[in-house]
Structure 1
Amino acid sequence: MVCVTTPNRGRENGHRRIAGAAPDADALYRFLECLVGGGAAAVLFLFSLPALVELTSPFRSLSPMWLVFAFLFAWLAFWAVIGASRERIHG
């Protein structure tokens, strides 16, 4: 017997989303969390760039990849912390 499942496209909690409807507040908060996390990561990255360049210089051609990895890790970490703290505050 084969069991096939299909994704629940456009549905959240069993309700279908209406095309053209205004986004809910949660989507706006997630967007703002992303922007603030990216901004915080950019500021931290710019201030620590000389130290990061010195740390990654032994990797020669892989150095830019490590710098990008450090920036993306910082962005995702800040985004997660901001999102988790918002959930804790607002319940």
Structure 2
Amino acid sequence: MSVLTDILVQAVAGAIGGNAVARSSKNLDLGPLGNTISGALGGGLGGQLLGSLIPALAGAAASGNFDIATVLGQAAGGGVTGAIVTAAVSMIKKRLIG
């Protein structure tokens, strides 16, 4: 798999994670577009960071082989980091704006 494919999987999973955390707590809601953007950015960037810290997530991508376990790992990492970034951005926004 290519790096672009990895980032796309992580960004989509991040957008899903961002929207999921916003639905679970209305205090963390940035609106549909805000949740999606912050989740996608968090998923894409956070997923790449996790991939560099946990070599097993980047192993199949480096070899060029498609591995469903790696894709699921990237999706999980992207979803979690997307949710975390969305929650963090929401909390920062609420502190700054009120």
TM-score (norm 1): 0.49
Q: Which has the higher helix share?
A: 2
Q: Which has the higher strand share?
A: 1
With a CA cutoff of 8 Å and minimum separation of 6, indicate the structure with the bigger relative contact order: 2
TM-score (norm 2): 0.46
